[in-house]
Amino acid sequence: MKISARNVLSGKVKAIKPGTVNDEVVVKLTGGEEVVAIITKASSKSLKLVKNKKVYAIIKASSVMIGVD
């Protein structure tokens, strides 16, 4: 797999929470942190996502904001 995004995080599917149109996919990263993605049910089915399947969380954003109290 070759992609242009630089932020590719490896992990495993921890949970899939189905919705009416979209699924919420919780990915447990190698370091223990979690990332949550909302994807279409069609994408979830096409990727054959199941619990513990190895996946990549790919983040492509034009900006990242940081806030403090």
pLDDT tens digits for 22-33?
Answer: 999 999 999 999
Measured between alpha carbons, how far is 41 from 61 in angstroms, rounded to an integer? 23
Confidence label for 5 from pLDDT (cuts 50, 70 and 90):
confident
Query: In degrees, to the nearest 5, what angle opens at C-alpha 10 toward C-alphas 9 and 12?
Result: 130
Average pLDDT of the chain is 91
pTM: 0.84
Residue 1 has pLDDT above 80, yes or no: no
Domain topology for 7-59: OB fold (Dihydrolipoamide Acetyltransferase, E2P) (2.40.50)
Mean pLDDT value of segment 29-51: 95
Measured between alpha carbons, how far is 65 from 69 in angstroms, rounded to an integer? 14
> Looking at residue 67, what is its pLDDT?
84
Contact between 23 and 15 under an 8 Å Cβ cutoff? The reply is: no
